[in-house]
Amino acid sequence: MKTKLSVNINKVATLRNARGGNVPNVLTFAADCERFGAEGITVHPRPDERHITEKDVYGLAEIYTTEFNIEGYPNERYMKLIRDVRPAQATLVPDPPGVLTSDAGWDTKQNLELLTDLANELKELGVRSSVFVDTNPVNIEYASKAGIDRIELYTGPYAEMYDDKREDAIAPYVHAAKLASELGLGVNAGHDLSLDNLTYFKQQISSLAEVSIGHALISDALYLGIENAIQMYLRCLKD
């Protein structure tokens, strides 16, 4: 299946916030990413607004033309944004306040009631639900029991092992994706995917619906330019 590339623009907002003002302009950058071939825009508006702000979310909701994916811990602040904006996808992550980056998935069995309630509300809103999980089969099974639409596989461990043992690194993801598909779940992936390791990941997981990539892609854009970087990542995702 075709795998969509969603560009996470958090780092662009980080650069803007470091200086103040509105350079670079997050909305313009998102529109350019779409113009250059990105098939989605991802943001993660954290409570401290150290990168993407609530204002950014509402502004992006007015201008995006592809798919809008809003990540975050599903507290009342986050859910208000989802209710107001109605993005294509809400990706639920189990981040505690103040965490630097998302580095672990949900214990979906322990949080079954919460995730079931959230899945039901998102369905009523017409928003596709996704949960950030590791490759543990139990977490995938309970994501399905909760009525979630997709899982997003946390690919940090894959990226860490890729250079030394890529066959071992990919194996649990292949099994996880197969189980997800058998349970009727869509499969997304994200975290530390890069030009070095993305092609192999895509080749091994044919059911991959979407990847969300921010840090590596924006870093590559410093050397390549954002248009070239997006095109290179898209080439990695070709069948």
Catalytic-residue membership of 51:
no
3-state secondary structure of 7: strand
- Per residue in 198-215, pLDDT tens? 999 999 999 999 999 999
Q: How far apart are CA 214 and CA 12, in angstroms?
A: 9
224, 232 Cβ separation under 8 angstroms: yes
Closest CA to 90 of 114, 69, 111, 106: 69
Q: Can you read off the two tokens belonging to residue 132?
A: 């950030």
Choose, from 51, 67, 152, 191, the residue flagged as catalytic. Answer: 191
Mean pLDDT over the full length of the chain = 96
Please state the pTM of the whole predicted model. Answer: 0.94
Long-range pairs of 88-91 with CB within 8 A, sequence gap ≥ 24? 88/40, 88/127, 88/128, 89/40, 89/127, 89/128, 89/129, 89/130, 89/150, 90/122, 90/127, 90/128, 90/129, 90/130, 91/42, 91/130, 91/131, 91/132, 91/152, 91/188, 91/212
Q: Is the pLDDT of residue 151 over 80?
A: yes
Q: In terms of residue numbers, what domain contains 18? A: 4-236
Q: Is the pLDDT of residue 47 over 70?
A: yes
Can you give the CATH number for the domain in which 15 is found? 3.20.20.70
pLDDT band, residue 99 (cuts 50/70/90): low
Interacting residues of 232 by C-beta distance below 8 A, sequence separation 6+? 195, 220, 224
Q: Is the pLDDT of residue 100 over 70?
A: no
Per-residue pLDDT, averaged over 219-232, amounts to: 98
As for how many domains the chain has, the answer is 1
pLDDT band, residue 86 (cuts 50/70/90): very high
Q: Can you read off the two tokens belonging to residue 11?
A: 């780092």
Choose, from 34, 39, 67, 71, the residue flagged as catalytic. Answer: 71
Catalytic-residue membership of 71:
yes
122, 150 Cβ separation under 8 angstroms: no
Q: 24: cis peptide before it, omega within 30°? A: yes
Q: Is the pLDDT of residue 46 over 90?
A: yes
What pLDDT does residue 45 have? 96
Interacting residues of 163 by C-beta distance below 8 A, sequence separation 6+? 196
C-beta neighbour count of 60 within 10 angstroms: 21
Rounded (10°) angle between helices 137-145 and 112-125: 50
Choose, from 34, 39, 44, 51, the residue flagged as catalytic. Answer: 44
Catalytic-residue membership of 44:
yes
What's the angle, vertex CA 154, arms to CA 150 and CA 160, rounded to 5? 155
C-alpha atoms less than 13 angstroms from C-alpha of 140 in its C-beta half-sphere: 25
Q: Is the pLDDT of residue 239 over 90?
A: no
